[in-house]
Amino acid sequence: MKRKTIKMIQAVMLIVLSVFLLTGCEEYLDYSRYMESDFDGSKYGDDASFNAIYKTLDRTISNTIDVNGYTGIIVEIDNEKGTVDYTISDSVGNIVATRTGVTKERQEIPVNYSGFLKVEVTGNKARGKFSIRRQ
């Protein structure tokens, strides 16, 4: 009788442990490889510009642009679907320009700043391209 009781306890503990491991580890499993990517395209940038062509942009991407000796920035956005938001800020975090919900735009932004500007572009299920470059 003791032997049956011990085997029964072991079986119950094994079941409890299995359930715990299966449900407790669920939050650590990475399902993102089975889901659509939040960026599908190409992006490139240097000190003079930040550009991207994308089938899917649904996250924030960023770069810095050196505007030392330049008078402005040209922003060109052309989306087939979705929108983008962008923010251009100086090294301290002061916002030079910001726009939300942009589908198509060509804008020249004057800059009275010497140094690097941070450019952040956030896509909202966007498909298209953008170019942000110094003038």
Q: Give the closest residue to 78 by CA, choosing from 59, 54, 100, 45.
A: 54
The pLDDT assigned to 2 comes to 78
- Residue 86: inside a domain: yes
- Residue 17: inside a domain: no
pLDDT tens sequence across 10-63:
888 888 777 766 666 555 555 554 455 799 999 999 999 999 999 999 999 999
| Domain CATH number, residue 83 | 2.60.120.380
The pLDDT assigned to 18 comes to 75
Phi then psi dihedrals of residue 111, to 5 deg: -130, 125
Report how many domains make up the chain: 1
The pLDDT assigned to 97 comes to 94
User: Model-level pTM greater than 0.85?
Assistant: no
Given a cut of 70, whether residue 82 has pLDDT beyond it is yes
3-class DSSP string for 7-55: HHHHHHHHHHHHHHHHHHCHHHCCCHHHCCCCEEEEEEECCCEEEEEEE
More confident residue, 83 or 27: 83
pLDDT averaged over the chain? 87
* Residue range(s) defining the domain that contains residue 42: 37-134
- Residue 2: inside a domain: no
- Residue 20: inside a domain: no
**Mean pLDDT confidence for 91-114:** 93
